[in-house]
């Protein structure tokens, strides 16, 4: 059986097709011994191995064997049941990783946008519970500045004069500050600040328009608006609070295991994509 290229398993009535090599990733597991007719729990019926276990949970077992990673959906909750299944199949490394629920469970992420209008300028401050998200958002937002002649708040487009990008103010790893609009400098000259938020290519000067684009960007990134309130009535500071479930950095664990070896494997937490 060990030379069989394609193996078919029926687990609790769910059919799986895989390669023998995949099932032999951990030679001491019951799945590897199954191929050598060395485990009575697995019955070979009409060319298919049958086992009376949970077929839905076995799909995560197969994913682990194929990728050497633990990748679970954000709404997954059956850690103990999946751990028992891993122990049944003799995949003790996987069972040990599943015991680290605090690394595998997604966490609630909170983000707050504060916005205020003062004459011809709009001020923004963004706070986030996850510094990685703030860093990714800071890479999307660019502020451009330049002197404009006789242009004010209602000018929808920058003049032909070159605009200079400005770095965002970062008081800490968890927040950022920027502003847009115009302020009077001298004569009929105005200092203008435009904001661009990728992937949108527009340079916006109107604070209300920038706020709308910012909120839309957050909603498209998986955030949900949970509250709006005024935090400083005199200064008219509006606060928009968002939340989303974010995969923990440890949700995907890469195993430094040489296929076919029986030694103790080590695991490392892999990084999620920025802003995800």
Q: What is the mean pLDDT of residues 168-174?
A: 93
Judged against a pLDDT cut of 90, whether residue 183 lies above it is answered with no
- Give the total number of structural domains in the chain: 2
Q: Within a domain: residue 84? A: yes
Residues 32 and 126 in one domain: no
Q: pLDDT tens, 79-92?
A: 899 999 999 999 99
162 belongs to a structural domain: yes
Q: Residue 185 has what pLDDT? A: 63
> Does any domain span residue 256?
no
| Residue 19 belongs to some domain of the structure | yes
Least Cα distance to 214 among 121, 143, 108, 132 occurs for 143
- Examine the domain organization and report whether 75 and 112 are in the same domain: no
Residue 56 predicted with pLDDT over 50: yes
Asked if 192 and 209 sit in the same domain, the reply is: yes
Q: Report whether pLDDT(264) > 90.
A: no
Claim to verify: residue 25 and residue 140 sit in the same structural domain: no
User: Could you tell me if 142 and 242 lie in one domain?
Assistant: yes
Q: In what order do the strands lie in the sheet with 253-256?
A: 69-70, 253-256, 266-269
Q: What range defines the domain where residue 122 resides?
A: 108-151+158-246
Domain presence at residue 189: yes
Assess whether 61 and 129 both reside in one domain. no
Q: Is residue 96 part of a domain?
A: yes
Q: 139 and 222 share a domain?
A: yes
Domain containing residue 214: CATH number: 3.30.1410.10
Question: Does residue 87 sit in the same domain as residue 181?
Answer: no
Residue 276, in any domain of the structure: no
Rounded to 5°, angle at Cα 42 from 37 and 47: 75
**Segment 219-255, tens digit of pLDDT:** 999 999 999 998 866 768 999 999 997 665 444 445 5
- Exposed, middle or buried: residue 2 (CB in 10 Å: 0-12, 13-18, 19+)? exposed
Are 115 and 240 in a shared domain?
yes
Same domain assignment for residues 222 and 130: yes
Shared-domain flag, residues 72 and 133: no
Q: How many residues comprise the chain?
A: 276
Where residue 82 sits, what CATH number does that domain have? Answer: 3.30.710.10
Identify whether residues 78 and 167 lie together within a single domain.
no
Q: What pLDDT score does 255 carry? A: 52
Q: Would residue 257 be called left, alpha or beta, if left means φ above 0 and alpha means ψ between -120 and 50 degrees?
A: beta
In a domain, 38, yes or no: yes
């Amino acid at each position: 059986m060990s030379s069989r290229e394609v193996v078919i398993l029926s687990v609790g009535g769910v059919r799986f097709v895989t390669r023998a090599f995949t099932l032999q990733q951990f030679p001491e597991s019951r799945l590897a011994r199954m191929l050598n007719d060395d485990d009575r729990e697995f019955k070979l019926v009409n060319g298919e191995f049958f086992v009376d276990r949970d077929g839905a949970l076995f799909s995560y077992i197969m994913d682990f064997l194929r990728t050497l990673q633990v990748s679970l959906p954000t709404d997954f909750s059956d850690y103990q049941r999946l751990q028992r299944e891993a122990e049944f199949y003799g995949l003790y490394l996987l069972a040990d990783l599943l015991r680290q629920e605090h690394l595998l469970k997604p966490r609630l992420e909170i983000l707050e946008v504060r916005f205020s209008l003062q004459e011809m300028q709009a001020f923004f401050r963004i706070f986030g519970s996850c510094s990685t998200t703030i860093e990714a958002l800071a890479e999307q937002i660019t502020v451009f500045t330049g002197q404009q002649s006789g242009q004010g708040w209602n000018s929808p487009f920058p003049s032909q004069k070159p605009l200079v990008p400005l770095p965002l103010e970062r008081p800490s790893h968890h927040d950022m500050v920027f502003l847009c609009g115009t302020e009077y400098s001298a004569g009929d000259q105005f200092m203008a600040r435009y904001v661009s938020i990728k992937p949108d290519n527009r340079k916006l000067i109107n604070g209300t328009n920038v706020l709308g684009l910012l909120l839309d960007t957050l909603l498209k990134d998986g955030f949900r608006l949970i509250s709006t309130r005024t935090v400083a009535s005199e200064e008219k500071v509006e606060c928009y609070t968002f939340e989303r479930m974010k995969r923990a950095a440890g949700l995907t664990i890469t195993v430094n295991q040489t296929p076919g070896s029986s030694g103790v494997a080590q695991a490392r937490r892999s990084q999620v994509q920025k802003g995800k």
